[in-house]
Amino acid sequence: MNPKLRPQYHFRRTQTGLDAWNVARLIRLSRDLPTLWVDPCTISELDQNHWYMGPSQQPTPRSLLEHMQLIERSDLSFPIILDARGRVMDGMHRVCKAVYEGRSAISARQFSQDPAPDYVNCEPDELPYVESLFSI
């Protein structure tokens, strides 16, 4: 599949600063992992700051509306991606949709060893977000 997508990143604070993983690469790397089912209510990121990592990112009413639209449009047929500890690397909008709909399980793929980040000690606003064609 070659959809035209805006690059998306998973961000995580580490000892080195704010690191980022390209979600398209995570999807490719997790493609052959077994699918498992997890209770979306047990996802710890539901109670953490998951989306607002950069200094310019704030949970404004407008940004919350944007996330609500993404949650509504999310497709639960695609598995979420979890790191080796079970933390969400891709799919938080799907997790939110599953919880909102009262689902008891959501499909997931989990790494046994986390892939290296694509960017180390980065700023979200400085990463490339140019639309491009890439293979997932």
| Residue 40, in any domain of the structure | yes
Rounded distance, CA 71 to CA 112, Å? 27
| Residue 74, in any domain of the structure | yes
| Burial status of residue 49 (CB atoms within 10 A of its CB: 0-12, 13-18, 19 or more) | exposed
Rounded distance, CA 97 to CA 9, Å? 20
Rounded average pLDDT per 10-residue block, the chain, 136 residues: 65 89 95 97 91 75 90 96 96 97 98 96 78 46
* pTM of full prediction above 0.95: no
How many distinct structural domains can be found in the chain? 1
Residue range of the domain that includes 36: 7-123
| Residue 130, in any domain of the structure | no
| Residue 112, in any domain of the structure | yes
pLDDT of the residue at 93: 94
| Residue 2, in any domain of the structure | no
